[in-house]
Chain A
């Protein structure tokens, strides 16, 4: 029983981080039909920004988070303005290639600035052991789950009630109609990219706190794919549920079966889902295959 709770909490932590990274991915896809292969690099940059602000500059971690978020928002806006906007109206494959290029570019920038050696991180959220139902976990993992849950709640409210959220949902549904409602489509794209960058950066900060920073963190970008395929490419609740399911699945498989199967199990799920239910659990049934 202890092992089960232990694995559940580990799975939930990973799931929360995956869900945060997937949220931005889904948002960009919903608003602009673009598949962002650079989502993992947003996470990577978030982690390194935390490292830079806390370790290299020596700011308190609260300020570090703030700076990270601001830089991530700016990065999102810049990428939308200078990479995506010139490609409006170009074939979708060109746009996808551009995001693949962007991912290599961002990785290279990170390596130039911070090198390729993984770096330890003085945990800003303490990992003091906490005992829940007989299982012992680090407090940092509970924090991670809490922060992710709060952010998810925040974004659910955002889409439901705020003017910007309504505009984003409208653009996702019908761009021409949205324009005729007085909604600036370009502004909405910029919002989508900034939110994607900032949620991934926060996910990166959480990961950095738990395992430290290193170029390998961009692998989260790849792990987002099973999550969004399972949840549905265009569904925000799907990103959350998909993240949690994949996180738990990896943890259980790793704990009970082991042998490295946990590394591939999510991709097995990805293939199965594509065969049985290509639009995912919550996605729209009509999905254009590219």
Chain B
């Protein structure tokens, strides 16, 4: 087994692509709710191991885009291709749970944790996709079931270390502060061994210190494990700091794409986004 970064005993990144290879290809995506077009022909490509930020004013279609990728919304036209293991998957034809099983992990804008479970329970629920043990062995904890449980416990513990949430392991998620809940949600997505991580406003509603922590965790996951990250974020300082590339949406259309510097200097972006 190759040496895993920072004490990780099991591989976190499930993608088999090399950095820079095309991983996710969104083409001409159209999504409408009744007569309201949420996405009107959006196209862009995500490359392995990059951090891509999606920005835009409220109602620009950012979350709709993320929901289309993870299968919660069904776009009327267009395609979303996902590459891994030498295969091409058309995500618009798959169900949300099938997409998750491919390693497309996500967090939600309004935290969607299993509130009545502990932090550990949430992370183990994330790792659940990979459990292969049959019903009876898992109940009596024998043989392969024991080995599998140990494997996942080790993996989940490594994530707990990475996110510095050791102290709240056994706490019920519903009792935690907002910032910690966001962190647990990131942890649960990591427990799925993601090939690509979709984060919907991971820093919304946080104070500066919490934002810095979150930015550090996202960079750790990206730099040390090479996990591709697509994030929606409103805090321009954070976006400019951590992302490799930025896609700008406005009223369901892509109005710009480029490096943070290019986006900062783009007049159309300034007009749409900054209201100049």
Contacts and interface: CB of A to CB of B under 8 A. Distances in A.
Interface of A: 154, 157-158, 161-164, 166-167, 169-170, 173-174, 176-185, 284
A184 B128 CA distance: 12
A157 B188 contact: no
B128 A179 contact: no
Given A181-B188, A182-B128, A184-B95, A176 B72 contact: yes
Given A154-B139, A179-B97, A181-B100, A170 B112 contact: no
Contact of A169 (B112, B117, B140): B117
Given A154-B139, A157-B139, A179 B192 contact: no
5 contacts: A176-B112, A179-B96, A181-B129, A183-B100, A184-B95
Contacts of A157: 139-140
Nearest to B185: A177
Given A157-B139, A169-B117, A184-B95, 19 more contacts: A161-B138, A161-B139, A162-B138, A164-B135, A166-B125, A166-B128, A167-B125, A173-B114, A174-B114, A177-B112, A177-B114, A180-B72, A180-B100, A181-B126, A181-B128, A181-B188, A182-B98, A182-B100, A183-B100
A184 B97 contact: yes
A169 B122 CA distance: 10
B124 interface: yes
Interface stretch (B23-31, B56-64, B80-88, B101-109): B101-109
Given A163-B128, A173-B116, A174-B113, A180 B139 contact: no
Given A163-B133, A179-B100, A184-B97, A170 B125 contact: yes
A288 B124 CA distance: 29
B129 A176 contact: no
Interface residues of B, number: 35
Interface of B: 70-72, 95-98, 100-101, 105-106, 108, 112-117, 121, 124-126, 128-129, 131, 133, 135, 138-141, 145, 149, 188, 192
A284 B114 CA distance: 14
A178 B112 CA distance: 9
Contacts of B71: 179
Contacts of A177: 108, 112-114
Given A162-B135, A163-B128, A170-B128, A180 B106 contact: yes
Contacts of B112: 174, 176-177, 180
Output the residue of B70, B100, B108 with the most chain A CB within 10 A: B100
B113 to A, nearest CB: 7
Given A180-B96, A180-B100, A158 B106 contact: no
Listed from nearest, the 9 A-B pairs whose CB atoms lie closest are A182-B100, A182-B129, A173-B114, A177-B112, A179-B96, A182-B101, A163-B131, A162-B138, A184-B97
